[in-house]
Structure 1
Amino acid sequence: MNKHDYNNKMLDILSDTKTYEMKPCGYAKSEGDKFAVTARKKKSKKGKKLLYLLEQAPKPPRMYGLPKIYKPGIPIHPITSGVNSASHNLARYLAKPLSKTLENIRGAHLWNPLDLIKRLQGIDFSGKKLASYDITSLFTRVSICDTLKAVERVVNNSNNEDLPVPKSDYLRLISLCVGYGAFTFNKKDYRQHPGLAMGSPFSAVLADLYLEVFETKEYMIFLVVLIDEHNHLPDWDNAVVLSKGSNKTEKDSRSSFHKC
């Protein structure tokens, strides 16, 4: 892919005004400075020991695109690299204990392929096939409000000894890191409004927590899908999802899902 095509595809992604907003020159640097000042406020004794994680001369996060060469048209996957940014080291440090809470909300988290194989043992797959559905643009569609509620839920159930700082400080710093959405591309400043940034140390674990809450709150989504009499996998529009308290079809549930 040549540079011209790459830039055009990246600009096409950034033209989504529901997700990204172009800002005046210097905005990203200013946001980094504000982050550092806010992160230093109202620290506990333990919290003061984390000050070394804050960059003395932070650089704005930088967005770049990863070409998906295995897909038709070679689409671009936007990634925001926060290395040496105001929030990166702190976010990476805070994400470690949070990752240990996965599966506390709903015991359906898969850690790796071997975990999946272990869980499928003993299940009768006669007349069935296993189907996996992908979620389009998961990170940017994650509800930050619901995600932070999920974080608060697992943190309140955690032991103080498992956290690097008191729970109130921990929740405040996570909220601060997640809300830091400034970045640059081609020397222009932008802000991502909804969702999580691909490339943040927090994004993967927070997206998992969000899905665990979503699955328990609204739908029970089955991975095992019955095939029809002709041995064909059902169409996505017609596959059925069991919804709590109703008999919604997957088509109805899918439209509700995309509103989250």
Structure 2
Amino acid sequence: MEKTKAYKCLGTTDPLPDLIQRTNKYLLDLGLAKWITQNQYETICVNSNEVELAHLYYLPKVYKPGTPLRPIISGLKNPTVKISKFLDELLRPPFDKMAFKTTVTSGFELFKQLKRWCSNNMCQETTFCIIDVVDLYTMVPQIEGVLSLRKMLNYLKLKQIGGLKIETIIRLSRFVMQNNYFSYNGQYYHQIQGGAMGSPLTLI
């Protein structure tokens, strides 16, 4: 965690109660300003009995020399996860459509595309390589991540998705990106760079 500089230690004070309160207030303010509907508010607001703070654990990368550990932040019940899922459902169809020609969805699909590519483009000098991106989820600055989302939506010339204005989507995305908290070994942390690993929004 120290290597990436992506996490700020908050000590032993649990940020969950404040996060619940801030999330619901933010959503209520959006609703009162007519940025989201009452139904949308009820879909993504936080029920304090259903949420818990994300927690960090590690899985070994057995296929790598020295068996390094992969950090996993499990946030299935995080206060912002409903917003993240809601945004993913809105953004996934236009994103998949835009990225269709450059996206590989499975090993079988990769094999088919390589076979097709080799039949037309393979030559003696062709070199295949594998790139392993280190610390993928923490290397993208949060502001730039949200700006990239706006750039994609502008490129697609979309004014709204699912009845939600683009500006509302951007505001909700920014809130999700900036409010990732988790616990580890009795301490609490705030992610100040990148997006939460496994968050539906981060996967876009």
Q: Which residue identity is paired with 1:145?
A: I
With structure 1 as the length reference, what TM-score do the two structures score? 0.64
Q: Deviations over 1:8-37 (max 9, x none)?
A: xxxxxx344722221033342123432232
Q: What pairs up with 1:110-189 in 2 under 5 angstroms? A: 110-112=103-105, 113=107, 114=109, 116-117=113-114, 120=117, 121-156=119-154, 157-160=156-159, 162-189=161-188
Asked if the contact 1:103/1:109 (under 8 Å) is kept, the reply is: no
In structure 1, what is the Cα distance between the partners aligned to 2:137 and 2:61? 17
Pair 1:25-2:16 in alignment: no
Q: 2:72 aligns with which of 79, 84, 95?
A: 79
Q: Secondary structure at the match of 2:120?
A: coil
Q: Secondary structure at the match of 1:203?
A: coil
In structure 1, what is the Cα distance between the partners aligned to 2:38 and 2:129? 48
In structure 2, what is the Cα distance between the partners aligned to 1:97 and 1:119? 32
Q: Deviations over 1:113-148 (max 9, x none)?
A: 425336624113323221122221111011222221
**Deviation for aligned residue 1:45:** 6.8
Aligned to 1:9: none
Q: Which residue identity is paired with 2:57?
A: Y
CA RMSD of aligned residues (A): 2.6
Q: 1:93 aligns with which of 70, 83, 86?
A: 86
**Deviation for aligned residue 1:71:** 2.1
Q: Rg bigger for which structure? A: 1
In structure 2, what is the Cα distance between the partners aligned to 1:164 and 1:65? 40
Asked if the contact 2:30/2:36 (under 8 Å) is kept, the reply is: no
In structure 2, what is the Cα distance between the partners aligned to 1:162 and 1:26? 38
Q: Which residue identity is paired with 2:150?
A: E
Asked if the contact 1:63/1:81 (under 8 Å) is kept, the reply is: yes
Q: Which residue identity is paired with 2:75?
A: G
Provide the aligned length of Structure 1 versus Structure 2: 192
Q: Which residue identity is paired with 1:96?
A: E
**Deviation for aligned residue 1:73:** 2.4
**Deviation for aligned residue 1:178:** 0.8
**Deviation for aligned residue 1:183:** 0.9
Q: 1:56 aligns with which of 47, 54, 75?
A: 47
User: Which is bigger in relative contact order (C-alpha 8 A, separation at least 6)?
Assistant: 2
**Deviation for aligned residue 1:195:** 1.1
**Deviation for aligned residue 1:94:** 0.5
With structure 2 as the length reference, what TM-score do the two structures score? 0.80
In structure 1, what is the Cα distance between the partners aligned to 2:132 and 2:59? 18
In structure 2, what is the Cα distance between the partners aligned to 1:88 and 1:106? 24
List alignment gaps of at least 5 residues for structure 1: 1-13, 206-260
In structure 1, what is the Cα distance between the partners aligned to 2:29 and 2:149? 21
List alignment gaps of at least 5 residues for structure 2: none
Q: Which residue identity is paired with 2:40?
A: L
